[in-house]
């Protein structure tokens, strides 16, 4: 099968949607499918990725989305689709005003669409009416979580199935349990408001008062970094490390060295891929109880969930685990088992079935 995977976001800017697409492409290629990734880009791209031109940054959903605009972009999309000669086109965030929307409009073969975002947007609702013909064009609609499904169906009505984001469980299999005396707390991800690193920094005084020998590593980069670093009380700075940007090898090392992972997002997360990665590594996680995280982890079984935006609750949850190695170990074991639900081979099989269904529906309709 020839598959075209389309992203609306700059391929050269790290992000959850593009990570999902890259991992899906690898899974499909391993199954013998021919896959092309179509995406805008602001620099060189790897083989198998077709650049659709540069992007501009647009603030959206608590982050900055880098999207492709301009009079040349529609033509680039049409040419790329024609050269791909795909049997099915799989667009991600099909209503985002960028290359995914253009690919959806230009598609002449079965169209599968994955909705990743969980947003409450008046603009999204207003755009519902003009987007309805495009909605009807989608052969199979997918949402990565119930929160993402609610966002779409709240505007367009029923018709979306849930297929979660995937995580490569085998990739984290060699990470052993943390030492019983460990006191290492890890945050990893973008340093932006919706991810909640500022909540962790606010929680530091209470955390260190409860566990004086704790250490906190804040891994990642983003617009909040300078402000976060300056917000750490001077008396605590020797126990807090900001790593900046990290690569995949760093990610494994950071998880291996951690005792507890803190993920205090305040909203805008439809599926906790970082949460799933930490769980696959067998780490006890203290995460906020937003819908996108609650769809991944079951509070008390796979993670310790606390109210979003509550530094006191976050500090208490982390401290409680650091002082209870048995509970930390049990939560980590449960997390690793739960992560198997999101293992990429499982997820890829479900998406592959959606492709066959879309192609079959087109054949039966005679279009």
Residue 4 has pLDDT above 80, yes or no: yes
pLDDT in tens, 173-186: 999 999 889 999 99
pLDDT in tens, 90-120: 999 999 999 999 999 999 999 999 999 887 6
CB 263 within 8 A of CB 275: yes
Residue among 178, 4, 237 nearest 107 (CA): 4
pLDDT of residue 303: 96
Dihedral sign of CA atoms 93, 96, 99, 102 in order:
positive
Instruction: Name which of 49-63, 106-120, 140-154, 304-318 the model is least confident about.
Output: 49-63
Q: Where exactly are the structural domains of the chain?
A: 2-166+343-365, 169-342
CATH superfamily for 2-166+343-365 is Glycogen Phosphorylase B; (3.40.50.2000)
Q: In the structure, what pLDDT confidence band is assigned to residue 24 with cuts at 50, 70 and 90?
A: very high
pLDDT in tens, 128-175: 789 999 999 999 999 999 989 999 999 999 999 999 999 999 999 999
pLDDT of residue 64: 80
Residue 367 has pLDDT above 60, yes or no: no
CATH class of 169-342: alpha beta
- Stronger pLDDT, 352 or 248, i.e. the higher one: 352
The reply to whether domains 2-166+343-365 and 169-342 share a CATH topology is yes
């Amino acid at each position: 099968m020839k598959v075209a995977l389309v992203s609306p976001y700059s391929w050269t800017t790290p992000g959850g949607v593009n990570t999902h697409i890259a991992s899906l492409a690898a899974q499909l290629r391993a199954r013998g499918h021919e896959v092309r990734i179509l995406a805008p880009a602001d620099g060189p791209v790897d083989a198998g990725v077709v650049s659709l031109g540069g992007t501009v940054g647009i603030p959206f959903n608590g982050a900055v989305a880098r999207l492709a605009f301009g009079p040349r972009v529609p033509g680039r999309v049409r040419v790329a689709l024609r050269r791909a000669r795909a049997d099915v086109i799989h667009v991600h965030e099909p209503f985002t005003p960028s290359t995914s929307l253009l690919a959806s409009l230009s598609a002449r073969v079965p169209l599968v669409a994955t909705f990743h975002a969980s947003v409450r947007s008046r603009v999204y609702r207003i755009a519902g009416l003009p987007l309805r013909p495009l909605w009807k064009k989608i052969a199979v609609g997918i949402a990565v979580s119930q929160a993402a499904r609610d966002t779409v169906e709240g505007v367009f009505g029923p018709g979306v199935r849930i297929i979660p984001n995937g995580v490569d469980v085998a990739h984290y299999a060699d990470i052993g349990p943390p030492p019983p005396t460990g006191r290492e707390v890890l945050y990893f991800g973008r340093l932006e408001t919706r991810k909640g690193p500022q909540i962790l920094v606010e929680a530091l005084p209470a955390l260190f008062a409860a566990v004086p020998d704790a250490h906190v590593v804040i891994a990642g980069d983003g617009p909040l970094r300078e402000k976060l670093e300056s917000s750490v009380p001077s008396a605590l700075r020797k126990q807090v490390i900001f790593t900046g940007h990290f690569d995949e090898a760093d990610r494994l090392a950071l998880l291996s060295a951690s005792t507890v992972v803190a993920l205090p997002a305040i909203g805008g997360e439809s599926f906790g891929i970082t949460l799933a990665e930490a769980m696959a590594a067998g780490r006890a996680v203290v995460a906020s109880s937003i819908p996108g995280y609650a769809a991944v982890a079951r509070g008390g079984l796979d993670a310790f969930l606390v109210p979003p935006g509550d530094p006191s609750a976050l500090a208490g949850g982390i401290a409680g685990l650091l002082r209870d190695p048995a509970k930390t170990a049990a939560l980590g074991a449960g997390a690793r088992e739960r992560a198997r639900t999101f293992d990429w081979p499982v997820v890829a099989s479900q998406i592959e079935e959606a492709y066959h269904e879309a192609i079959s529906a087109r054949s039966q309709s005679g279009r």
